Amino acid sequence: MKISVDFGHCLSGADTGAASQGYREEILTREVGKIVVNLLKKAGHDVLIVSPDSGMTSVSQSLQYRVNKSNNWGADFFVSIHFNSGGGYGTEIYTFNGKIIDRAKKVLDRFTALGYINRGIKDGSQLAVVKGPSCPSMLVECCFIDTNDMERYSSVNMGKIIAEGINGGTIEGSSNNSGGDIMDKNVYVQTKTLDTDGVDGIQVNKYMEKFLNKNFYVKANGSGILFESQYMTLDEANKVKSNLGDEFLHFCFRS
Ligand SMILES: [Zn+2]
């Protein structure tokens, strides 16, 4: 089957997503989406990433780009991945006219099993990426970026649920929620954006230990400082997570 995967929003330009608690929607949609892409390929599907990362001058241009790319390719199914905001809780999926399609139902049921509130399958007829594709489409709002929904955030779990929901069955090699064979050695860790407490910088030595003396990258923005590690095994990443305590933000996976 030919499947278009749309990572919600762009990394820069006109169509960036919601941001809260140190998270950015456009990064989360790519973390989850890349796992969806890898697993669907693993299951033998043809997959096309239809989202642009940058260069869009308006939201409508960004949305139309995705729809056109998918329609020109002739996809059989379109999935758009997003995170909600506004202070709510749970998972919801948009389909054309709110039609209860099997894939949407499967995905929603399994998000609910992860502990998320089931907000239902809703009418997405007004959404460009639901009404525009010439094939069936669903837009998944995984959870809320601005509430403690994010405590259960896992790109691995969410990506697996979405991919297997679309596939209609388990995808081999992805059964281990802690990472599985395809993810191991490809984990990196990000900290929360750290407040420098009025000091001009942070004490790097302390973090070298916390990061097991692995390489890490220090990034600053207007609100503080973020650390990102080099790739590690899942075991190492878990050690770094416990070393960081409250400063841990999330794991990212690449394969
Ligand atoms: Zn969004």
- List, for residues 103-157, the tens digit of each pLDDT value: 999 999 999 988 899 999 999 999 999 999 999 999 999 999 999 999 888 888 8
**What is the distance in A from the centroid of ligand 1 to the CA of 205?**
38
Distance separating alpha carbons of residues 40 and 43, to the nearest angstrom: 5
- The pLDDT, as a whole number, for residue 186 is 57
- Is residue 180 over pLDDT 90? no
**What is the distance in A from the centroid of ligand 1 to the CA of 10?**
10
**What is the distance in A from the centroid of ligand 1 to the CA of 86?**
11
- The pLDDT, as a whole number, for residue 237 is 81
**20 near 85, Cβ under 8 Å?**
yes
Distance separating alpha carbons of residues 40 and 23, to the nearest angstrom: 26
**What is the distance in A from the centroid of ligand 1 to the CA of 229?**
27
**What is the distance in A from the centroid of ligand 1 to the CA of 59?**
11
Distance separating alpha carbons of residues 157 and 141, to the nearest angstrom: 14
- Name the average pLDDT for the chain: 88
* Amino acid letter, residue 177: N
Distance separating alpha carbons of residues 25 and 85, to the nearest angstrom: 9
**What is the distance in A from the centroid of ligand 1 to the CA of 16?**
8
- The pLDDT, as a whole number, for residue 164 is 95
Average pLDDT over residues 245-252: 81
- Up-side HSE of residue 197: CA atoms within 13 Å toward CB? 2
- Is residue 173 over pLDDT 70? no
- The pLDDT, as a whole number, for residue 181 is 36
Token couple for 40? 């669907």
Token couple for 53? 């990362």
- At 6-38, the pLDDT tens digits run 999 999 999 999 999 888 999 999 999 999 999
**What is the distance in A from the centroid of ligand 1 to the CA of 175?**
28
- The pLDDT, as a whole number, for residue 177 is 38
**What is the distance in A from the centroid of ligand 1 to the CA of 17?**
5
**What is the distance in A from the centroid of ligand 1 to the CA of 83?**
5
Q: How far is CA 244 from the centre of its chain?
A: 22
**What is the distance in A from the centroid of ligand 1 to the CA of 31?**
14
Task: Give pTM, 2 decimals.
Answer: 0.73
- Is residue 102 over pLDDT 80? yes
**What is the distance in A from the centroid of ligand 1 to the CA of 25?**
7
**What is the distance in A from the centroid of ligand 1 to the CA of 246?**
27
**What is the distance in A from the centroid of ligand 1 to the CA of 80?**
9
Q: What residues have a C-beta under 5 A from ligand 1, the ion? A: 8, 17, 82
